Amino acid sequence: MPLARRLGLADAVFIGLGSMIGAGVFAAFAPAARAAGAGLLPALAVAALVAYCNATSSARLAALYPESGGTYVYGRARLGEFWGYLAGWGFVAGKTASCAAMTLTVVAYAAPGLGQPWRSILAVGVIGLVTGVNYLGVHRSALATRVIVCITLLVLTLVAVFGFSGPHVSPWTPFHGGGVLEAAGLLFFAFAGYARLATLGEEVRDPARTIPRAIPLALGLTLVVYAVVAVVLLVTLGPAGIGASPDPLASAVPSLSPVVRVGAVVAALGSLLALVLGVSRTTLAMARDGHLPRFLAAVHPRFSVPHRAELAVGVVVAVLATTTDLRGAIGFSSFAVLAYYAVANASALTLRRDEGAAPKVVAAGGLAGCAVLAFSLPVASVISGCLVLGLGVVAYLVRRRGVAR
């Protein structure tokens, strides 16, 4: 049973914004500043350039293959079943970890002094609420995302206004040039939601026209927001102050600290809402092809959503959020997502001009950029990412051998 096409251009752009302008803008700048110092802006530019190449490749492929699953579908169609599977595995593994991290971010900001077991109970409640909203239908999820994005943008606007009007420090020292690529890899985590629209290709009206317009538009708006926030942080705290602060936006404007904390919770909820939406759709696509249990491919007859996939993702995220500290999983998630987009760019390299191909330099640059940023991340993140992707390869080979028999 196909999914209902309910999303227009505005809904698609807001889902893209909700996927990007989330918890990352409140959390990613501190570790990036520790890595690059005053090289924060060059690192942001590098991350945005790689994201642009990835977004362009994803948009062209999504227009050609308007199905749920994103790069899982593109890799399978253009490169072969294995590469599509590897992209899907990396997306589901990396973004499930991100969902758990976002859940923990909501708990940390909403109730910073809360101890166990109440933290775990609150985490389960948060993911249960988000799963319930998605279960009722993607249209309601899109409306909720629109409201959340507006609130988050309002908070960031207040931070910018108060930050620029307050006392300033020198933003230019120190500059750790060697850490720019590592910082770019960390900041890429905050951009990584732009192609979430591609995983919703089966639910977008006129996808050949809507998706190529929505992805670059959402990415461009996000880059403007991030650049303004980065400049505010540099002129109010300086590179050392950003790196030393666990909550740099609140530290930049102490008088707005409660507002910023609320904004962080709302933004993390928005990211979590969009993440669960995207992961469940990729799970649906992989279940349809037998790479995951086929019962996950069911679509609800009334709400037209992959309800079993959404419930399964919600359960896994709830378990992770209550049993694991996922702060280190941010690096792993970045590694897995960069691998996912590497497959997207490799797929885009095979497009012909009559299929809507962008200039080859865009896809080639995106592929090279993904590889460079992935292996510039901290060593622990690279090792854990390679191990999980390797586990996926083993599972694929075992399944193939079973089918051959």
**Given pLDDT bands bounded at 50, 70 and 90, which one contains residue 112?**
confident
Is residue 247 domain-resident? Answer: yes
Is residue 379 domain-resident? Answer: yes
pLDDT at residue 331 tops 70: yes
Q: What pLDDT, on a 0 to 100 scale, did the predictor assign at position 338?
A: 92
Lowest mean pLDDT, pick from 130-144, 149-163, 178-192? 130-144
Q: What is the CATH number of the domain that holds 213?
A: 1.20.1740.10
Domain residues for the domain of 109 are 9-404
Q: Cis before residue 171, ω within 30 degrees of 0? A: no
pLDDT single digits (tens) 162-185: 988 877 776 666 655 568 999 998
Q: What pLDDT, on a 0 to 100 scale, did the predictor assign at position 245?
A: 78
Q: What pLDDT, on a 0 to 100 scale, did the predictor assign at position 44?
A: 92
State whether residue 109 is helix, strand or coil: helix
Is residue 4 domain-resident? Answer: no
Q: What pLDDT, on a 0 to 100 scale, did the predictor assign at position 306?
A: 81
Is residue 350 domain-resident? Answer: yes
Is residue 362 domain-resident? Answer: yes
Is residue 3 domain-resident? Answer: no
DSSP state of 39: T
**Given pLDDT bands bounded at 50, 70 and 90, which one contains residue 65?**
confident
Q: 23 with 267: CB under 8 angstroms?
A: yes
Average pLDDT over residues 74-90: 90
Helices (H), 166-306: 180-191, 207-236, 238-244, 248-252, 257-288
Number of domains in the chain: 1
Is residue 174 domain-resident? Answer: yes
Q: 339 with 389: CB under 8 angstroms?
A: yes
- Cα–Cα distance, 15 to 215 (Å, whole number): 10
DSSP state of 206: S
pLDDT at residue 69 tops 60: yes
pTM of the model as a whole: 0.80
Bigger pLDDT: 81 or 5? 81
pLDDT single digits (tens) 212-271: 777 778 888 888 889 999 999 998 988 888 887 777 888 888 888 889 888 888 888 877
pLDDT at residue 301 tops 70: yes
Complete DSSP assignment for 341-383: HHHHHHHHTT--GGGTPPPHHHHHHHHHHHHHHHTTS-HHHHH
Q: What pLDDT, on a 0 to 100 scale, did the predictor assign at position 393?
A: 92
Is residue 13 domain-resident? Answer: yes
